[in-house]
Every structure is written in structure tokens, then in C-alpha cells.
Structure 1
Amino acid sequence: MANKLDIESTLLFEQPFAKVPYENYRKVFRTSAKHIEREFNALQNNSKDISNRFKSGNVPSEDVVASIDNMIGRMETLKRKLSDLHETAGKPTQDVMRERLQHLGQLEHMQSMNTPEFARWADTRLDRWLVDWCLRNGKEQTAKRIAHDKDIEILVDLDLFGDIRRIEMALERHSCAEALAWCSENKAALRKAKNTLEFDLRLQEYIELCRAEKKQEAIAYMAKHIISWHATHLQQIKQASGLLAFPPRTTCGPYKRLYDASRWVNLVKSFRQTIYTLNTLPTEPLLNLSLYAGLVSLKLPACFDPSTKNVDCPVCDGESGTDSQAKGLGRLAAEVPFSQHSNSSIVCEISGKIMDADNMPMAFPDGQVYSREALEEMAAKNGGIVRCPRKGTTCEFSKLRKVFIS
């Protein structure tokens, strides 16, 4: 079947769609585990204390009852915390995971891309990708409007990108507080990934103290937050220490670069890269990635020759794809390589198979060409009659002409 649905290829773009809520649920689970471990250790210590006091033989019953009441109180507090965590984060995340997996599961019941069911599913996917593009490009209100109008709020990551935007805006205001709070919440994951975003943020706060010439505060900040990174960042720490002797107006290259305001721009980029990695998000919008996949198969040198431009070709759209003034998809195509075909291949529209000497092309009287295998199968099912899927014309199989590839 020419338009048979390839579920495996379709799902290649959907990994972040399922992984983002999964990572959020893992975070909820880790938080719950920390609460349980901390309270369990406290209960064990209280139990041992009561046991040791019993062995001593001098334990007033009132103290024992008070200790047990204290243990019961801690357990009730733990139960309340876990219940609140489940209601505020755990259950909503479960609902998101369920809805998204059900959305992907619809593909299992679709056999062809020509069905109305797949058309509706693909429309929803395109809406999701448009929301993703808007969120990545700072068009938050547009993204929310699309998500609301299409009723797909649960299928897009509005909250995640809201947090990203909030922290990036703080960094643009030269404040590291929000980003450091995020690092604290994700400390274990950052440590596992050997990510140094927290060090970069701490170093920037130290630099700002030096810029304000608050040397005593800078020394105290260095001792409290930066020295602990000496095992992996000793050289940077040594250089940063020199800022105490070099004012912001210095012309000395290494220290002038540390004072450069462009470091804030790099921090924004570093934060975005880090949070994308932790949430398994691609750095490019999914809409761009899908367009790249199609454009790379169409891009040819002829698209950039004025004498061979095709008005129906998306790569030829607007100005030259290598021109900074390129328009439309032509500009997006500039970022993908040319399609390379050392040998031409002709693919049958009916079967999707390559036509060659073993499966040679056969032509209808009006010139439409399809593979012999597909037409023989069609003729066997229809009493020797074949039908052109493009134009709907029919003829006997014996009326077809062989086509030779040269």
C-alpha cells in the first residue's frame, strides 16, 4: 500500500512528547522518596532511643508515651506531605502521561495515512508542533491561545516553557536567584550529568560583587559557594580571584572578559541547553525538524540557479537559500545539505518499492508508470484489469508497455 502508515518512523518525533511528563513524575517520585527516607531514619533513631532507655530500667511511662506520640505525629505529617505532593504534582502528571500515551496509542489502530482518523491525528500533531514553536520563540500568548482553542493543553508543555521563560527573564535582568533555585531542585540530575551550570551562576554572582567593588562580600561568597568546586574548576577559581585586584574598568584581557556583559547571554543559552537536556527536549523546534526532513530530500543545486528555479519547489521559495534575505522555506532549507543521489531511483507509487530490472516499470497507455509487481497483483485481483491510482483510468494488463531505465 503506497500510503501505509509507518508507525515506527512516526514515533521517532514523539519521544519528547512522552518523556517530558515521565521525567516530571520521576522528580515527584524522588521528592517523595527523600521525605520517606528522612522520616524513616528519624523514626529508627527514636525507636533505638526508646529501646536503650528501656534497657537502662529508669524510664518514666510519661516519657515513653510522649516519644511514641511524637513518632505518630511525624508519621501523620509525612502522610499529609505525601498526599499533598500526590494531589498537586503526582496525580496531574499521571493524567498528562495517560492522555499522551493514549494519543500515541491511536496510531496502532490506523493502517493508512489516507484515513480520516489519521488526518485528525496529524492535525492535532501539527497543532502541538505549532505550540512548541511558539513557546520556543517567546510567543507565549499565541501558544496558549492555540492550545486552548484546539483543546490540547494537556498535550503541550505550557508549564515547562513558562518556567523556562521566567528563569530566562530573570537572567536577562542580571539575577541568578531563580536559576540557582532551579539548580537546587535538580541538584541530583545535574550532578549525574556532570553539568556545571550552578558553578557558572555562582561565578557570575561573584563577578557582580567584584563589579560593585564589594570586596569583603566577594571574598565571603567565594569561600561559601565557589571554593568547593576547586577539584574541577581550580584554574577558573584562580583567575576569578584576581578580580579582587582588577577593577571593572581594567583593560587586562582575561579580567576584562570576565567583566564582559555578554556572559549573561551565554548563561541564558547554557540554562536553556541544560533544561532541554534534563527534559529530553531537542534544541530545535519539532516543526523545524520535520521540515528539515522533507527539505533535505528536495534540496538540489538547481534550486539556486535562476534559470532552473521551480515555482512549485519549497526550496526555491523566495530568494536564494544561501542569501541572508531568503524568504519562506528557502531560508530554512539553507541549513540542510543537498540531496545526494549517485544513482537515480524510481519508486512505485502503489507499492513504495524501487523499480529496477527485477521489478521493471510498466506504463499505461497515457504514460503513467508503476511497478510490474504491483500491477500484476492488482490484475490478479481484478480479472486482468488494472486501474491507475492517479487518474482512475483502467485497461487490461496486456495493454501495458514495458519501460526500460537508461
Structure 2
Amino acid sequence: MSNKVNVEGALLFEQPFARVPYEAYRKVPYEAYRKVFRSSQKYIERELGAVQAASKDISKQAKSNYDPSAALKSIDNMIGKVEGLKRKLSDLHENSGLQTQEVMRERFMHITELENSTTRDDPRFNRWADTRIDRWLVDWALRNGKEQTARKLAEDKGIEKLVDIDLFTDIRRIEDALRRHSCTEALAWCSENKPALRKAKNTLEFDLRLQEYIELARSGKAIDAIAYSRRHLVLWQDTHLKQIRQASALLAFPPSNAFGLYKRLYDLKRWETLVHSFRLAVYNLNALPTEPLLHLALYGGLASLKLPVCYDPTQKPNPDCPICDGPGLGKLAKEVPFSHHVNSTIVCYISGKIMDEDNPPMVFPNGYVYSRNALEEMAARDNGIVTCPRTKMTCAFSDLRKVFIS
């Protein structure tokens, strides 16, 4: 096996790592800059309003009792307010998106450390690989609702800018609201990301609006439901006319008498479906994989080891085989295809280790084959005698023959 770092292969896993902050940076004009505009407008109205009032006072004083010292003091105050306003506006515009740019810079530096590594023995590669594992563990914890664990690990390892804690915190907050049967937060998120959702032809907003309509129907508020439909659902009639008609008919069937399609519309499991749809929409907009990065990496390794013999009930499970670990990695292994080996890999029945030129296979007189290392250990324990674990046949170690793999 080559000791050279497979940079291209490693970078396949790093596409979401680099794209998440990039996608966030693209949203700056829609979110951060809008907030900057509102804040700037507030500062301008307040500070310039005070300057204009002071200017009017000076004009009135000039027509009556003119005091040059008081006028100069008032002008100095106005200049101070204008300079303060300039600093605030400058800080707002400089800092909008600055944090995102810092995150992107940290992430690209992390990727550069991989590209500068020459071999797997390079200390830079070892540091990079350790950090990658830490990132994957944080990603797994965030996706499984273990936010405190993720934050603690990120802080201890100093990788806060290399993980997406804030993104997953928002996801968890909105998902919790949906599980409490509230669409408010999810609809606000749809409003903030409307251009991107429209471009992706995502219908999450309609699904949320439909659910709010269903809840009004469930509560018996027919008049409110009709008004809500006219205000929010009719806008989608070009693409969802059939669903809108079905929703209109829902008012004729209260939950206690609903059947078929209408009973399914009232089903509370729809909320969990909305949670799933929301998460997929967030992942799609931020170029995130639907599976934890740790799982994707494990899938790659398990796919290279998975063989039909691992599921043969007549064979003894290999304690060193992750595929045979049913309660653990064996669960993930069920999701991947069997490995395709151009050359066969022979594994020792006794030790579970691969037989190769350094650990060649040895054959008993009865035809069963085991690895030399395992048989040498057995012979050392039993005064040169080895026993076939399958047939219980015994013979001297010297009676075994070496087998050559072709």
C-alpha cells in the first residue's frame, strides 16, 4: 500500500466543509445586509435628528441673543455626533459578513494543511487527520441532538470555526417548534430563504401553510380557515390546485368523522414529516449531506470489507471483523453493498487475520487451511502438536504443508 496521501480522495469529504460557510456568505445580501440597513437607518434618524434640532436652535439664537461660545459648543457637539455616526456606520458595514469570511479563511487553511502533507507519516497529516475526526464527531453529535457535547468537544479541541454549531442550533430550535405543533419559526426561515427555496423548487412553505390550515380546521374554526386559505394557499394554485381543493373539502369532515384522505390530513404524524422535510431543505440549501460525515467515512471502509461469508450462519463470526459486529458497526454495514474483490482475501478461521506472504496458509492432511502464525502459537502450547478446530484432527506441526496463493 502506498504511503502517499490521497489528497483527491480526502477532499471528496471536504466539499460540505468548505461550502457551508460559502452558502452562508451568499445569503449576506438577503439577511445580514438587510439588518445592517435597518440599523443604519435607525442610527441616521436618531443622530441626524439631534443635529438638525441643534442647528435650528443655533439659528433661533442668532436672531436674538447671540452667544458665540455657546454656538461653538453646540457646533462641536454636532460634529461629535456626526463623527460618532460615521464610526457606527463604518463598523456595521465592515463587520457584516466579516465573521463568515474568518470562518472561510480558517477552513481553507485547514484544507491547505492537507494539501501540503506529503506522506501519511508526515506530522502535518497526522494533525489534520486528528482534527478531521474531531470535526466528524462534532457533526455526528449535532445531528443527533447532543449539542452540549458538540460544543464542549469543539471548545476543547479549538475547532469552533471548523464546525457548524450555530447552523445546527437553528435547525434544532425550529424542529423543536414543529414538534410543538408550531410553524411560526419554520415559516420565518422560509421567508428569509425564499429566493433560494424558489430556485430549488422546494415546496416546504406550502406544506407549512397547509398544516396551519389543517390545524384551524381541526379546531373547528371554519371561517378563519377559509380566510387563511385565501390569504396563503390560493397563491400556490398554479402548482398545488389539487391539494388546495382537498384542503377545502376538509372543512366538511371534522376529525371525528374523517375517513381516507381526510383522515390522513388530520394525522398528527404529518408534523414529523414536516420536521424531516425542513431538515432536508436546510441540508439542500447549505450543501450538507443527509448522513453524518462520520457515517459516510465508515460506509466507505465497511463496503471494502463486506462479504457474503459475514452473513453465513454456518460460519463462526470473526471477532476482528466490523461487519460481524451486529450490534455495532454491523448495523451500518447493512446499508452498503458487498465488496468486489479482484483478488481473493483469505482470512484465518482461528485468528481472524488475513493470510498473505508474511502469514502464509498451512494445510492439514484433511485439507483444512489455517494461518501459520495461529498454528505456530498452537504448536508452542501443545508441544509441537496442532489440532484442526473443525474436525478435531491432530498432527505434528511438521506434517503441515505450506500453501501458495495464486
TM-score, normalised via structure 2 length: 0.71
Could you say what the CA RMSD is over the residues aligned between the two structures, in angstroms?
Answer: 2.8
In structure 1, what is the Cα distance between the partners aligned to 2:286 and 2:212?
A: 26
Q: Distance in 1 between matches of 2:333 and 2:234?
A: 47
1:315 matches 2:315: no
1:84 aligns to 2:92 (yes or no): yes
Cα distance between partner residues in 1 of 2:93 and 2:216: 38
Contact 2:136 / 2:294 at 8 angstroms: preserved in 1?
yes
Question: How far does residue 108 in structure 1 lie from its aligned partner after superposition?
Answer: 2.0
1:174 aligns with 2:158: no
Q: What is the CA-CA distance between 1:33 and the residue it aligns to?
A: 7.2
Is contact 2:114-2:124 (8 Å) kept?
Answer: no
Following the alignment from structure 1 to structure 2, what is the Cα–Cα distance between the partners of residues 141 and 37?
34
Structure 1 residue identity aligned to 2:268 = A
Residue 355 of structure 1: aligned partner: none
**Pairing 1:243-262 to 2, within 5 Å after superposition:** 243-262=250-269
State the AA in 2 paired with 1:216. Answer: I
SS in 2 for 1:28: coil
Match of 2:295 in 1: 288
CA distance in 2, matches of 1:345, 1:302: 13
Q: Distance in 2 between matches of 1:77 and 1:28?
A: 23
Closer/same/farther in 2, CA of residues 32 and 263 from structure 1, 3 Å limit: closer
Instruction: Name the SS for the 2:171 alignment partner.
Output: helix
Q: How far 1:172 sits from its partner (Å)?
A: 0.3
d(CA) in 2 for partners of 1:133, 1:37: 37
Q: Equivalences for 1:6-405 in 2 at 5 Å?
A: 6-31=6-31, 83-84=91-92, 86-87=94-95, 89-306=96-313, 307-317=315-325, 326-341=326-341, 343-344=342-343
Per-residue CA deviations over 1:115-155 (Å, capped at 9, x if unaligned) read: 22211111110000000000000111111111111111111
Q: Distance in 2 between matches of 1:282 and 1:404?
A: 45
> Quick check: 1:316–1:330 contact (8 Å CA) kept in 2?
yes
1:188-212 superposed Cα distances (whole Å, 9 cap, x missing partner): 0000000000000000001101111
CA contact (8 A) 2:21 2:103 kept: yes
Counterpart code for 1:243: L
How has the CA–CA distance of structure 1 residues 164 and 81 changed in structure 2, closer, same or farther, with 3 Å as cutoff? farther
Alpha carbons 1:35, 1:78 under 8 Å: kept:
no
What secondary structure does 2:149 align onto?
A: helix
Q: Give yes or no for contact 1:32–1:82 (8 Å, CA) kept in 2.
A: no
How far the C-alpha of 1:340 sits from its partner, in A, is 2.4
Give deviations 1:170-203, integer Å, cap 9, x for gaps.
0000000000000000000000000000000000
Q: Percent identity?
A: 62
Q: 1:188 and 1:98, CA in 2 relative to 1: closer, same or farther beyond 3 A? A: same
Q: CA deviation at 1:80?
A: 6.1
Q: Is the 8 A contact 1:28 1:85 kept in 2?
A: no
- How far is the alpha carbon of 1:166 from its aligned partner? 0.2
Q: Secondary structure at the match of 1:29?
A: coil
Q: Give the partner amino acid of 1:344.
A: N
Looking at structure 2, the residues matched to 170 and 118 of structure 1 have their Cα atoms a distance apart, in angstroms, of 42
Change (3 A) 1:266 1:32: closer
CA displacement at 1:256 relative to structure 2: 0.9
Change (3 A) 1:335 1:82: farther
Q: Secondary structure at 2:297's aligned position in 1?
A: helix
Whether the 8 Å CA contact 1:302–1:308 is kept in 2: the answer is: no
Q: What is the DSSP-based 3-state SS (H/G/I as helix, E as strand, rest coil) of the residue aligned with 1:298?
A: coil
How far 1:104 moved relative to its partner? 0.5
Kindly state the Cα deviation for residue 239 of structure 1 after the two structures are TM-superposed: 0.3
Q: 1:130 to 1:90 in 2, by over 3 A?
A: same
Residues of 2 paired with 1:182 and 1:176: CA distance?
10
**Is the 1:180–1:201 contact (alpha carbons within 8 Å) kept by the matching residues of 2?**
yes
Verify the 8 A CA contact 2:360 2:404 in the aligned structure 1.
Answer: no
What does residue 59 of structure 1 align with?
none
Partner deviation per Cα, 1:319-359 (whole Å, 9 max, x = no partner): xxxxxxx3111111111111123x4268xxxxxxxxxxxxx
Contact 1:302 1:309 in 2 (8 A): no
Report the alpha carbon displacement of residue 404 of structure 1 after superposing the two structures with TM: 8.0
Q: Distance in 2 between matches of 1:10 and 1:221?
A: 50
Query: In 2, distance between residues paired with 1:192 and 1:20?
Result: 18
Pick closer, same or farther for the CA change 1:267–1:14 going to 2, 3 Å: same
Residue 83 (structure 1) shift: 4.8
CA distance in 2, matches of 1:227, 1:95: 44
Give aligned pairs, total: 309
SS in 2 for 1:195: coil
Question: Cα gap change, 1:217/1:363 in structure 2, threshold over 3 Å: closer, same or farther?
Answer: closer
